[in-house]
Homo-oligomer: A and B are copies of this chain.
C-alpha cells in the first residue's frame, strides 16, 4: 500500500524541481542514421533519388529499457533536410531537455528525408514530383515500426511539421488519420487562399512558361516555387517540360488567367478546400494544433491560418490555434520558443504512452 500523503510528500520533494532548478546537463539520446531505398518514389518525373536518409533520435532511456515508445515524425521545411535538422542540434537539445525536465514523456523522433531537386517534396502525392504521402505511410512508418521498439499504432504516433512541413502535417492528419492521431503544424502554409487572388500573385509568367527546368528559375522566388507547386498539385505527365498544367496560358506574350485550372489546383493545394471531406477523420484525432507567427511578411499565410481555425471550429473539430508574436523563423527553435514551450507539452497531453 502506498498512502496518498506519503506519495504526496515524496512527490512534493521533487515536484518543484522544474521551478527551482533545472538539470544542467540532461541525459543525451542517440542518433541513428538510416538509409533505405524507396520503391514509391521511383515513380516521378523530376529525377528524385530513391535512396533516402532518415535520422532517428532515440531517447536516453531507449538503450537500457525494453519498453516500446511513441514516435514523433517530423516533417522538415523545404530547403532543409534530416541532416540539418539533427546536426544543427537545436531539436535534439530541446527534446532532451524536455525529457529531463519531465515536460514530455520519452519518444522516438524520426526525421525522414523529403528533399528533392526542386523545392522539396511538398508532402503530397503526385505522379510528377513523387508520391510523398504514400512514401511516408507505406514505407517510412513501417520501416521504423519494424526496426525499433515503437508503439505501432495511431494513438502513439504524432506528426509534426514546420512551414511546408506544417502543411504536410495537417494534410497527413486529414487524409491519414488512421495512421497518426496527433498532429502539430508549426506555421503551416497553403491552408487557404489568403487575401490575394491568384491572378495578382507575383509570378513571372513569361519566364515560367519559357523555362525548360526548375533551375532556370533560380533567384525568382515565388516563380520558382510555383514551378514545384504546379508539379505537385497540377501535375500532367504529358505536359513537358514542367509536366504540369500552369494556371495561366501565354497569349500574345501575355499571361492569360485560366480560372478552371486555377480552381482545380487550389482544390488540391489549399487545405481548407478539402476540410469538409476530412472532418470525420479529423474528429477522431487525439490532438490537433496549428500555430503561426503574426509577422510573416506573406500575410496570406497568417490570414489563411486564422480562417482555417475558424473553419475547424465551424466543423466542430477540437484543436488549438495560436498566433504568436514572431515571424516564421525567429521563435521556433529558441529555448523558450514554440517547439519547446508549445509542441512538446502538446505531445505530452495527447500522445499515448502506455502499452
Which A residues lie at the B interface, using CB under 8 A?
4, 8-20, 23-25, 27, 100-105, 193, 195-202, 219, 257-259, 262-263, 266, 276, 279, 294-295, 297, 299-300, 302, 306-307, 309-311, 313-316, 319-325, 327, 330, 336, 348-349, 353
Are A199 and B10 neighbours in the complex by a CB distance under 8 Å?
no
A71 to B307, alpha carbons, bound, how many Å? Answer: 39
Are B13 and A13 neighbours in the complex by a CB distance under 8 Å?
yes
Q: Which residues of B contact A12 (CB under 8 A)?
A: 12-15
A19 to B353, alpha carbons, bound, how many Å? Answer: 10
Between A and B, 5 residue pairs with Cβ closer than 8 Å are A196-B297, A197-B313, A294-B321, A295-B313, A322-B323
Are B320 and A322 neighbours in the complex by a CB distance under 8 Å?
no
A115 to B105, alpha carbons, bound, how many Å? Answer: 45
Q: Which residues of B contact A200 (CB under 8 A)?
A: 295, 297, 313, 327, 330
Q: Which residues of B contact A325 (CB under 8 A)?
A: 309, 313, 319-322
Select one of B196, B197, B295, B323 contacting A196, CB under 8 A.
B295
Select one of B16, B19, B27, B323 contacting A294, CB under 8 A.
B323
Are A276 and B263 neighbours in the complex by a CB distance under 8 Å?
yes
A197 to B295, alpha carbons, bound, how many Å? Answer: 7
Q: Which residues of B contact A262 (CB under 8 A)?
A: 314, 316
A200 to B297, alpha carbons, bound, how many Å? Answer: 8
Q: Closest chain B residue to A257 by CB distance?
A: B316
Chain B CB count within 10 A is highest, among A4, A16, A105, A315, for A16
Q: Which residues of B contact A202 (CB under 8 A)?
A: 297
CB of A257 to closest CB in B, whole Å: 6
Are B193 and A314 neighbours in the complex by a CB distance under 8 Å?
yes
Q: Closest chain B residue to A289 by CB distance?
A: B325
Q: Closest chain B residue to A267 by CB distance?
A: B276
Are A102 and B18 neighbours in the complex by a CB distance under 8 Å?
yes
Q: Which residues of B contact A310 (CB under 8 A)?
A: 193, 195-197, 294-295
Q: Closest chain B residue to A199 by CB distance?
A: B313
Q: Closest chain B residue to A100 by CB distance?
A: B15
